[in-house]
Amino acid sequence: MNFEELGLHVNIIRALTDAGYTQPTPVQEQAIPAAINGRDLLVSSQTGSGKTAAFMLPALHKLATAEVISYTNAKTPNQERQSARSRGDRPRFVAAKPKMLVLTPTRELALQVTTATDKYSAYTRRLKAVSILGGMPYPKQMQLLSRNPEILVATPGRLIDHMESGKIDFSELQMLVLDEADRMLDMGFIDDIEKIVAATPPTRQTMLFSATLDGVVGNMAKRITTEPMVIQIAGSASKHENIQQKVHFVDDLSHKNRMLDHLLRDVSLDQAVVFTATKRDADTIADRLNIAGFAAAALHGDMHQGARNRTLDGLRRGHIRVLVATDVAARGIDVPGITHVFNYDLPKFPEDYVHRIGRTGRAGRKGVAVSLVNHAESMHVKRIERFTKQLIPVDVIEGFEPKKTAAPSRTSARKPQGWKPGDNRKSGYGNNSKPGQRSFSKPGSSTAPRKDGGSAYKGNRQTEGGARRSFGDY
């Protein structure tokens, strides 16, 4: 299957050729024809599987095909203002009337979607995409909106502000995309999303992308879509077979820091993301790494938008080799040079682990994901293993052996729940296990699947969700 067969406009195909896309990914193969036909979509597929193009290519196709008609009639807000002025009226702001709206959980993701859109629409020149984000100077946003962009990419909060002050009019909206819907709900955007959806015409086409389609996301999806086509791509990507995962046990902070420095000197490392639990740690560790001679920079929610953009830009250009980041700040970052992900601190939630390691191994490349774990955090690793249904091998580096041994060697001691024979070990990397590697589980820990499965975890998460946000730690 190639992009021509999916029925895309020639000018879009040209842009894809420039971008080096030779064939659609599985999610694109399914989503693009359905979306061109106007179907609502509910899509879950692994991070890095090409979801942006899965909604943006059919959208651009539809807008490019309809372009001729809309442009002969429509006046831009500037033209309208001009004629208002010539009529002697006071110049006023005319609301932007986008045809497509993409909602994303973070500013970084919104910018990434906008950048991808610019790339895909390189030969459909009249189509403009702009991002409306928290932290962007107001005059700049007004200027962007006054260009009456066809495509608006926004985080929910800031968009609501503009809607309420009459700067955006959704009466001509044709397509609504919720990218990383599960994350948006996690971040507490549900009311904002409902408000935004309610302001759009019921005739719109809705496309929702999420890591999972059950629970809260599923309920919302049901309310906002009409007879959606459900696309769920599991496949090998969901096991992250291209990402080599490891756990290194550490005794204390100084051991952890020495180990990190050692690992960052790995010759196979191009660029890395180091995840920390707090913004303060992100700053401290970035400073320390810089002093140690690594080109490091921090990325977290306390930084001004300008600084965040500069950091991401530096990362993309390769000036920054080590990004030290918190979960939300680094969500969805797509930089091909990231070969390594380090969990300096383990994530609070197993889903975040999956999002973190997905920063490497983009578009089928190989990647390495290393977690530096205190002995006391073994339970945390188990929760992650239960969630991903994969064992993470424990590795020991010569000269960096932990003083405490994690567990006596019992390679076959325990299988995570849902594990099937051959599930894990036959995936290339599993075979690399050296004799010294072992599962960290303690002898005598239950080998039977828990009756309550992951639900205990889920319950826990709901009570902690609100608290987590109020820490303001992103």
Q: Which of 30, 52, 374, 390 binds ligand ADP (CB under 6 A)?
A: 52
C-beta of 49 vs 374, nearer to ligand ADP: 49
Q: Is 362 in the site for ligand ADP (CB under 6 A)?
A: yes
Which residues have C-beta within 8 Å of that of residue 264, sequence separation ≥ 6?
272, 289, 294, 322, 340, 342
Stretch that binds ligand ADP, among 47-55, 240-248, 254-262, 419-427 (CB under 6 A): 47-55
Q: Is 90 exposed, middle or buried (0-12, 13-18, 19+ CB in 10 A)?
A: exposed
Q: Is 50 in the site for ligand ADP (CB under 6 A)?
A: yes
Cβ 421 to ligand ADP, closest distance in Å? 30
Cβ 32 to ligand ADP, closest distance in Å? 10
Closest CA to 145 of 162, 161, 160: 162
Sheet of 322-325, strands arranged across: 243-250, 367-374, 338-343, 271-275, 322-325, 296-299
Cβ 290 to ligand ADP, closest distance in Å? 28
Q: Is 355 in the site for Mg ion (CB under 5 A)?
A: no
Backbone angles phi, psi at 398, to 5 degrees: -60, 130
Q: Is 361 in the site for ligand ADP (CB under 6 A)?
A: no
Inter-residue contact 395 to 408 (CB < 8 Å): no
Sketch the per residue contact string, 18 through 57, with Mg ion: x for CB under 5 A, - otherwise.
---------------------------------x------
Cβ 53 to ligand ADP, closest distance in Å? 5
> Which residue has 């095909």 as its token pair?
65
Q: Which of 186, 334, 351, 395 binds ligand ADP (CB under 6 A)?
A: 334
Q: Which does 49 bind (CB under 5 to 8 A by kind): ligand ADP, Mg ion, none?
A: ligand ADP
Complete DSSP assignment for 300-347:
-TTS-HHHHHHHHHHHHHTS--EEEE-HHHHTT---TTEEEEEESS--
**Angle in degrees, 0-180, between the axes of helices 51-73 and 10-19, rounded to the nearest 10:** 140
Q: Is 48 in the site for ligand ADP (CB under 6 A)?
A: yes
Stretch that binds ligand ADP, among 49-57, 78-86, 431-439, 444-452 (CB under 6 A): 49-57
Q: Which of 142, 253, 363, 456 binds ligand ADP (CB under 6 A)?
A: 363
What radius of gyration, in Å, describes the C-alpha atoms of the chain? Answer: 24
Residues making contact with ligand ADP (CB under 6 A): 21, 24-25, 28, 47-53, 334, 362-363
Residues making contact with Mg ion (CB under 5 A): 51
